[in-house]
């Protein structure tokens, strides 16, 4: 689906901001080095002058104040927008230098997410989970630098995924394993694009004015003065925030009333329920983004809020499709097994997983997925699981329920 080029096109405005920041930092770095050398030369000159004076007269007066003057300003800090991978300490240091937050860019998300489930990545995993709110602090200690604190950990993550690996990760989430920790639920902009259809070659010039407008929005937000836009602040180190205006708040409350009822209906399976529950934050975040992107000041208005609510409806369809694909994979495997039973390829009086795997049937070659499909059939009452006694390890067999899986003869 050419997901990487599409993602890089979306990141183009940030890439341009990074290029500008690097150019400005390079110039500032050169200026700072020159000033540092001059300051060093002045300090050596003051020291030499004081040494000559004291050699002539040990009681000579020395200008102590000149030695208390800072030699040079601190080195300029490179403004960062994105990171690829880093340790918790490195990420925290970068956030101290870049309090507006950072975007973690990963081309293949499933493998990276799975790696976060390892025990040795537990701290990084927790740090990233904290960064979802964008307002919670993080304290750590480093040898040589002592006590360090990030006032507000603000991290975003963007990346792509192949359907297969993402499906495996989603299935692990649905099973309640290590992946079912709320990490994937924090990807509120999760989308599963349509595939298939007729390919059509499109060769046209990009929409220049639209591109310029998009870049201008990023430029404006990069230099955003939150307080000038009417933002409030609870403390000196606290992130600034805007509120809904009365109309927007009423619209949001009306939406949330129905939304909360849906979450509590018991009709959603836990993983999807956890994902949709994060829309309580997603909708206000989108409304704020639209509000600032359109150049508005003061409280977030009704138009931006309604647009965010429409986005929530759209994104929910994608979330349901993503989780449904993972759930449907298990059901698809179960259907394939049932079809083999109906055809007589599997003995109704009892068969094992090896009988399925040895046949190498399409869609039934993965032992893990076969086990999931069999488990679903047992749960639904199509099969009954029992253990065949043996001298060594008991063999697990599956017996068909004749009412659930009628034979070909009975159907005729």
Helix or strand holding residue 109 (H, E) = helix 109-116
- Cα dist. 72→40, 42, 69, 145, 408 in Å? 8, 11, 9, 20, 89
Longest distance between any two alpha carbons in the chain, whole Å: 121
Q: How far apart are the first and last CA of the chain?
A: 45
With a CB cutoff of 8 Å and minimum separation 6, the contacts of 131 are: 101, 153, 154, 155, 156
The pLDDT assigned to 63 comes to: 67
Q: Which residue has the tokens 């499909």?
A: 373
Q: Which residue has the tokens 């002539």?
A: 56
Per DSSP, what are the bridge partners of residue 350? none
The pLDDT assigned to 227 comes to: 92
The pLDDT assigned to 67 comes to: 60
How far apart CA 232 and CA 73 sit, in angstroms, is 32
Residue extents of the structural domains in the chain: 17-78, 345-411
The pLDDT assigned to 100 comes to: 92
CATH T-level topology, domain 345-411: Arc Repressor Mutant, subunit A (1.10.10)
The pLDDT assigned to 71 comes to: 57
How far apart CA 273 and CA 266 sit, in angstroms, is 9
The pLDDT assigned to 66 comes to: 61
Closest among 375, 379, 366 to 168, alpha carbons compared:
366
How buried is 153 (Cβ within 10 angstroms: 0-12 exposed, 13-18 middle, 19+ buried)?
buried
Per DSSP, what are the bridge partners of residue 160? 108
Q: Are 250 and 243 in contact (CB under 8 A)?
A: no
- Cα dist. 99→79, 138, 213, 279 in Å? 10, 12, 26, 25
Q: Which residues of the chain are under the pLDDT cut of 70? A: 61-72, 144-145, 175-180, 196, 327-329, 391, 404-412
The pLDDT assigned to 153 comes to: 93
Query: CA geometry: angle at 283 spanning 233 and 266, to 5°?
Result: 125
If DSSP codes are grouped into helix, strand and coil, which group holds residue 299?
coil
- Per residue in 4-41, pLDDT (tens digit) is 888 999 999 999 999 999 999 999 988 888 888 887 88
């Amino acid at each position: 689906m050419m997901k990487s080029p599409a993602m890089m096109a979306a990141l183009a405005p940030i890439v341009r901001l990074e290029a500008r920041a690097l150019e400005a930092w390079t110039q500032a770095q050169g200026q700072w080095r020159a000033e540092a050398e001059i300051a060093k030369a002045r300090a050596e000159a003051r020291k030499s002058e004081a040494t000559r004076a004291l050699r002539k007269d040990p009681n000579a007066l020395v200008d102590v104040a000149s030695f208390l003057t800072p030699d040079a300003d601190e080195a300029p800090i490179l403004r960062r927008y994105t990171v690829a991978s880093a340790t918790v300490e490195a990420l925290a240091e970068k956030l101290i230098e870049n309090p507006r937050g950072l975007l973690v860019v990963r081309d293949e998300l499933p493998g990276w997410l799975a790696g976060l489930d390892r025990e040795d990545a537990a701290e990084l995993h927790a740090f990233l989970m904290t960064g979802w709110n964008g307002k919670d602090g993080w304290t750590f200690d480093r040898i040589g630098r002592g006590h360090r604190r990030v006032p507000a950990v603000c991290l975003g993550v963007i990346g792509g995924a192949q359907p297969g690996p993402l499906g495996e990760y989603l299935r692990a989430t649905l099973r309640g394993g290590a992946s079912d920790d709320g990490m994937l639920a924090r990807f509120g902009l999760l989308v599963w694009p349509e595939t298939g259809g007729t390919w059509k070659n499109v060769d046209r010039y990009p929409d220049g004015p639209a591109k310029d407008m998009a870049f201008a929005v990023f430029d404006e937000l990069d230099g955003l003065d939150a307080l000038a836009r009417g933002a409030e602040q609870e403390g000196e180190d606290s992130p600034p925030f805007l509120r809904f205006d009365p109309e927007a708040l009423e619209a949001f409350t009306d939406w949330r009333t129905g939304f909360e009822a849906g979450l509590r209906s018991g009709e959603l399976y836990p993983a999807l329920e956890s994902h949709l529950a994060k829309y309580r934050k997603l909708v206000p975040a989108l409304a704020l983004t639209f509000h600032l992107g359109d150049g508005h000041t003061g409280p977030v208005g009704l138009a931006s809020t309604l647009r965010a609510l429409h986005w929530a409806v759209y994104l929910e369809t994608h979330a349901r499709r993503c989780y449904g694909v993972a759930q449907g994979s298990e059901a698809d495997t179960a259907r394939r097994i049932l079809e083999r039973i109906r055809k007589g390829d599997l003995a109704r009086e009892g068969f094992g997983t090896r009988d399925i795997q040895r046949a190498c049937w399409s869609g039934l070659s993965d032992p893990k997925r076969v086990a999931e499909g069999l488990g679903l059939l047992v749960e639904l009452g199509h099969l009954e699981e029992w253990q065949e006694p043996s001298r060594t390890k008991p063999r697990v067999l599956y017996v068909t329920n004749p009412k659930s899986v009628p034979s070909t003869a009975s159907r005729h």
